[in-house]
Amino acid sequence: MPDDIPKLPRQRGKKNQPKDTAWKQQKLPALRPHYSITSAIPVTLITGLATLAMGIALFFGHQGSLEQEVLYTNCTLPNGTQVERVLRSEMGNETFQCAYNIILDQDYTEEVENLEADIISEIINNPSFQGDIKFYYGLNKFYQNNRLYFNSRNDQQLRGKINEIDGCDPLQYVDVNGTKVPIAPCGFVANSMFNDTFQLFYMNGTINGTTRVPWTTRGVLGETEMKRKFRNPVRAANQTLCDVFQGTIQPPAWRYPICQLGVNSTDPDVGIGFENIDFMVWMKVAALPKFRKLYRVLNKQVDMFSNGLPRGTYQLVINYNYPVDMYDGDKSFIIASENWVGPRNLFLPVIYLVVGTFLLLVTILFILMWLKQRLSRVHPT
């Protein structure tokens, strides 16, 4: 429009002169990193040394964290017979009890080979487990991360609204005489809950004098997670848990209803129903097909174990319920002691050491290049 078009050039002062600000003139102070060999040498040297130092520290830290893994897929019965790939036919109907002897001893190295044939004990040479001791169970080739499996749950139901079953299809409800009885907990994640249970006994050096290793569920799950995500339905003063779960049915693979989950435990912290610790741990889906889930933590308030697990022989007794053989999976039980580095993982220290060494080599290369430059500058040829 007429007045939008700039007027014809005539001396008209400086009305349109742009402002000379750093923003508009793109003159903000800038750090312009220049990379030359001389400036790169200290950088790579310091980085390399620091990385190397970190790697060494991690490595020693790693030395302090120990773990024992017992692969118990092929169950060993308490009487000594090994049952290979059990339960193929009798899935979920029968409980086996298996037992493994574990010897935690620093100087028992030689015996590993000898005793491997031994059907009731697996002896591994290790220093005494000290500090925080954790007990895990591990599964292999189990795809908790399958998308349809993963989503087959209802988080609202787990917070006590037992009739919320959206998203659990096809494990939403069971048709009983034309009425739809919701499954609680619904969905495939809950249906396939891991139901082996473990007991660990300290043999005190003798066979008869056994002490049950005391463990607790405290610290297995974060407070917020437990409190916010899992809640049993609200019940009135005179109601039992089974009363409030009335009108629901257990998942098809379960042997008893949800209200009885954890009832038999001697440890009240284990919790019942939706608030059962093993249930909650299972419902936290693992990212990879090979995973471990925290089972229990050593209770150090018991005198004998205040410093951790003493050296010696232990017996692991397993209530063997969970079928893994059909899909060729593995099950294991892990005893781990962890220090500041976290769990035993050689990967971090190794990669730190590798990168640190690499950077130092690069530094040396740079120094050589720099020397060559200097020499050629001093004696131009």
Partner 1 sequence: MPTEASRDNNRHIHLGELRTHDHPHHAHRFCSNRISTCKYNGFSFLPRFLYEQFRRYNNIFFLAIALLQQIPDVSPTGRYTTAVPFLIILSVSALKEIFEDVKRRRSDNKVNAFPVEILVDGQWVEKQWKDVKVGDFIRIDNDSLFPADLLLLSSSEQQGMAYIETSNLDGETNLKIKQALDITASMTSSDQLSHFQSDITCESPSRHVNEFNGNIEINGETRHFGIDQLLLRGARLKNTAWIFGAVIYTGHDSKLLMNSKRAPLKSGTIDVQTNYRIIFLFFVLVALALISAAGSEVWRRHNIPQAWYLSFLEHDPKGSFLWGVLTFFILYNNLIPISLQVTLEIVRFFQAIYINNDIEMYDVNSDSCAIARTSNLNEELGQVKYIMSDKTGTLTRNVMKFKRVSIGSKNYGNNEDDEFNDPKLMEDVERGDEHSESIVEVLKMMAVCHTVVPEKKEDGSDELIYQSSSPDEAALVRGAASQKVTFHTRQPQKVIVKVFGEDETIEILDVIDFTSDRKRMSVIVRDQDEIKLYTKGADTVIFERLRETSESQQMIDYCTEHLEDYASFGYRTLCFAVRKLSNEEYGQWAPEYKKAVLAIENRAKLLAEAAEKLERDMVLVGATAIEDKLQEWVPETIQALMAADIRVWMLTGDKRETAINIAHSCALVHQNTELLIVDKTTYEETYQKLEQFSTRSQELEKQEKEFALVIDGKSLLHALTGESRKHFGDLALRCHAVVCCRMSPMQKAEVVEMVRKLARHVVLAIGDGANDVAMIQAANVGVGISGEEGLQAASASDYAIPRFHFLRRLLLVHGAWNHDRSVKVILYSFYKNICLYIIELWFAIFSAWSGQTIFERWTIGMFNVIFTAWPPVVLGLFDHPVPADQIMKYPALYASFQNRAFSIGNFSLWIGMAIIHSLSLFFLTYATMEHQVVWDNGLTGGWLMLGNCAYTVIAPPPFSLISSFHFQFVVATVCLKALLECDSWTWPVVVACLGSIGLWIIFVIVYAQVFPHVGGIGADMAGMAYIMMSSWTFWLALLFIPLATLMWDLVIKR
Closest CA to 286 of 140, 133, 96: 140
Shortest distance in whole angstroms from residue 110 CB to partner 1: 29
Q: With respect to partner 1, which residue has the nearer C-beta, 3 or 303?
A: 3
Q: With respect to partner 1, which residue has the nearer C-beta, 126 or 315?
A: 126
Q: With respect to partner 1, which residue has the nearer C-beta, 145 or 240?
A: 145
Shortest distance in whole angstroms from residue 12 CB to partner 1: 5
Pairwise CA distance, residues 203 & 120, whole Å: 14
Q: With respect to partner 1, which residue has the nearer C-beta, 147 or 379?
A: 147
Shortest distance in whole angstroms from residue 341 CB to partner 1: 7
| Burial 282-312, CB ≥16 within 10 A → b, else e | bbeebeeeebbbbbbbbbbeeeebeebbebe
Q: With respect to partner 1, which residue has the nearer C-beta, 76 or 276?
A: 276
Closest CA to 350 of 44, 59, 45, 49: 59
Q: Half-sphere exposure of 239 toward its Cβ, with a 13 Å CA cutoff?
A: 12
| Burial 51-81, CB ≥16 within 10 A → b, else e | bbebbeebbebbeebbbbebebbebbbeeee
Shortest distance in whole angstroms from residue 238 CB to partner 1: 28
Q: Say if residues 134 and 293 touch (Cβ distance below 8 Å).
A: no
For the chain, the first-to-last Cα distance in angstroms comes to: 70
Q: Is 18 exposed, middle or buried (0-12, 13-18, 19+ CB in 10 A)?
A: exposed
Shortest distance in whole angstroms from residue 13 CB to partner 1: 6
Closest CA to 314 of 99, 82, 65: 99
Pairwise CA distance, residues 287 & 143, whole Å: 8
Shortest distance in whole angstroms from residue 304 CB to partner 1: 22
Q: With respect to partner 1, which residue has the nearer C-beta, 121 or 191?
A: 191
Shortest distance in whole angstroms from residue 353 CB to partner 1: 12
Pairwise CA distance, residues 38 & 42, whole Å: 8
Q: Half-sphere exposure of 268 toward its Cβ, with a 13 Å CA cutoff?
A: 0
Q: With respect to partner 1, which residue has the nearer C-beta, 310 or 329?
A: 329
Shortest distance in whole angstroms from residue 102 CB to partner 1: 19
Q: With respect to partner 1, which residue has the nearer C-beta, 1 or 237?
A: 1
